[in-house]
Amino acid sequence: MTVNVQDRRWTRPEQNGASGDADISDRFAKEALTFDDVLLTPGYTEKLPSEVNLSVRLHPRLQLHIPVLSAAMDTVTESELAISLARQGGLGVVHRNLRPEDQAEEIDKVKRSESGMIVDPITLPVDASLADAEAVMSRYHISGVPITSADGKLLGILTNRDVRFATDYSRPIGDYMTHQNLITAHIGTTLADAQEILHRYRIEKLPLVDEGGYLKGLITYKDILKRQDYPFSAKDEKGRLLVAGAIGVGDSGLARAELLIEADVDAVAIDTAHGHSKGVLETVAAIRKRFPELPILAGNVVTPQGVRDLVEAGASVIKVGVGAGSICTTRVVSGAGMPQLTAIAECAMMGRRLDIPVIADGGIRYSGDITKALAVGASAVMLGSLLAGLHESPGEIVIREGRSFKEYRGMGSLGAMRGRASDRYQTAQFARESASPDISGKTVPEGIEGQVPYKGQLRDFMFQLMGGLR
Give the C-alpha separation, 97 to 15, whole Å. Answer: 32
Active-site choice (240, 308, 420, 424)? 424
Strands 144-148 and 124-125: parallel
First and final C-alpha spacing in the chain? 42
Answer yes or no: 424 catalytic: yes
Contact in structure between 123 and 148 (CB atoms under 8 Å): yes
Which stretch of DSSP H or E encloses residue 267? strand 267-271
β-pair partners for 10: 22
Give SS3 for 227.
helix
Cα three-residue angle 111-114-119, rounded to 5 degrees: 70
Active-site choice (112, 328, 347, 409)? 328
Give the C-alpha separation, 74 to 268, whole Å. Answer: 16
Which stretch of DSSP H or E encloses residue 103? helix 100-112
Give the C-alpha separation, 248 to 389, whole Å. Answer: 26
Which stretch of DSSP H or E encloses residue 105? helix 100-112
The set of residues, in sequence order, having a beta carbon less than 8 Å from that of 165 and lying 6+ positions away, is: none
Answer yes or no: 347 catalytic: no
Give the C-alpha separation, 139 to 132, whole Å. Answer: 11
Catalytic residue annotation: 328, 424
